[in-house]
Structure 1
Amino acid sequence: MSWVFLTDTRVYKLKKPVRHAFLDFSTIAKRRFFCGEELRLNRRLAAKTYRQVTPLCRNASGGFVLGGEGRAIDWLVEMNRLPQTDMLDERIRTDNVTKHEIGKVAELLADFYSKLEPEITNGDVYLRQLVKEQRINRAILLRHEFGLVDIASDTLDMVDNLLQRSRPWIEARVASGAIVEGHGDLRPEHVCLAEPPQIIDCLEFNRSMRIVDPYDEINCLGMECDILGMPWIRPRLNHALDNRFPYRPDTGLLALYGGYRALLRARLCIAHLLERPVRHAGKWRPLAIRYIQQAERECLSSRSPGDRILKNVSGGA
Structure 2
Amino acid sequence: MEEKDVHDIAWRGLYANDFIHGSLEETHISWVILAKGFAFKIKKPVRLSFLDFSTLALRKKLCEKELMLNRRFSNIYLDVLPVRKVQGQWIIGGPSDMHTVDYCVVMKRMATAKRLDKLLQKNAVSVVSLKTLAADIALFHNNAQQTFRSFSIDTGSSIFNDIESVSEFARDALGIRYHEIIRESIEWSDAFLTRHQGRLQQRIDSGMQRDVHGDLHSGNIFLYTKPVLFDCIEFNDVYRQIDVLYEVAFLCMDLERFNQWQLADVFLTEYVKRFSAFQQPEDYSLFIYFKSLRANIRAKVHAEQCRQTHDTHEQQYHRDEAAKYLKLMAKYVARKLAYAHHD
Q: TM-score, normalised on structure 1?
A: 0.88
Q: Residue 261 of structure 2 aligns to a residue in which SS?
A: coil
- Counterpart-to-counterpart distance in 1, 2:133 and 2:207: 23
Whole-angstrom distance in 2 between the partners of 1:246 and 1:17: 38
Over the aligned positions, Cα root-mean-square deviation in angstroms equals 2.1
- Of 319, 324, 328, the residue aligned with 1:290 is 324
Partner AA of 1:206 in structure 2: N
Query: Aligned to 1:250, what secondary structure does the other structure show?
Result: helix
Instruction: Give 2:12's aligned residue.
Output: none
Does structure 2 retain, via aligned residues, the 8 Å contact 1:163–1:256? Answer: no
> What residue in structure 2 maps to residue 263 of structure 1?
296
In structure 2, the CA distance between the partners of 1:211 and 1:130, relative to structure 1 (3 Å rule), is: farther
Q: What SS does structure 1 have at the residue aligned with 2:107? A: strand
Relative to structure 1, the CA distance from residue 40 to residue 123 in structure 2 (aligned partners, 3 Å threshold; closer, same or farther) is farther
Asked if the contact 1:55–1:72 (Cα under 8 Å) also holds between the matched residues in 2, the reply is yes
8 Å contact from structure 2 (residues 278, 284) kept in 1: no
Matched, 1:135 2:161: yes
Match 1:174 to one of 204, 215, 221 = 204
Letter in 2 for 1:158: W
How many residue pairs get aligned? The number is: 305
**Counterpart selection for 1:218 from 248, 259, 268:** 248
- For each residue in 1:206-251, what CA deviation from the matched residue of structure 2 results, as whole angstroms up to 9, or x when unmatched? 1111121111211220111111121122223322134322644533
Letter in 2 for 1:36: E
Compare the two structures and name the one with the higher helix fraction: 2
Match of 1:194 in 2: 224
Pick one of 165, 187, 192 that aligns with 1:162: 192
1:92 corresponds to which of 95, 120, 136: 120
Corresponding residue of 1:315: none
> In structure 2, what is the equivalent of residue 56 of structure 1?
83
Shift of the alpha carbon at 1:134?
1.2
Structure 1 residue runs without a partner (length 5+): 310-317
Asked if 1:102 is matched to 2:130, the reply is: yes
Indicate yes or no: 2:65 matched with 1:37.
yes
Contact 1:110 1:244 in 2 (8 A): yes
Alpha-carbon distance between aligned partners in 2 of 1:88 and 1:276, rounded to the nearest angstrom: 26
Q: For residues 42 and 145 of structure 2, what CA distance do their matches in structure 1 show? A: 31
CA contact (8 A) 2:302 2:319 kept: yes
Letter in 1 for 2:83: L
Identity percentage of aligned residues: 24
Name structure 2 gaps, 5 residues minimum. 1-28
- Indicate if the aligned counterparts of 1:273 and 1:284 stay in contact, CA closer than 8 A: yes
User: 8 Å contact 1:215–1:238 — kept in the other structure?
Assistant: no
Bigger CA drift: 8-17 or 229-238? 229-238
- SS of 2:286 mapped into structure 1: helix
- Runs of 4+ with >6 A deviation: none
1:50-96 residue CA offsets vs partner (Å, 9 max, x unmatched): 1111111234x553311111121100111111111111111112121
Q: Which has the higher contact order (CA 8 A, sep 6+)?
A: 1
Instruction: Give the TM-score normalised by structure 2.
Output: 0.82
Residue 66 (str. 1) matches residue 101 (str. 2): no
Report the secondary structure of 1:301's partner residue. helix
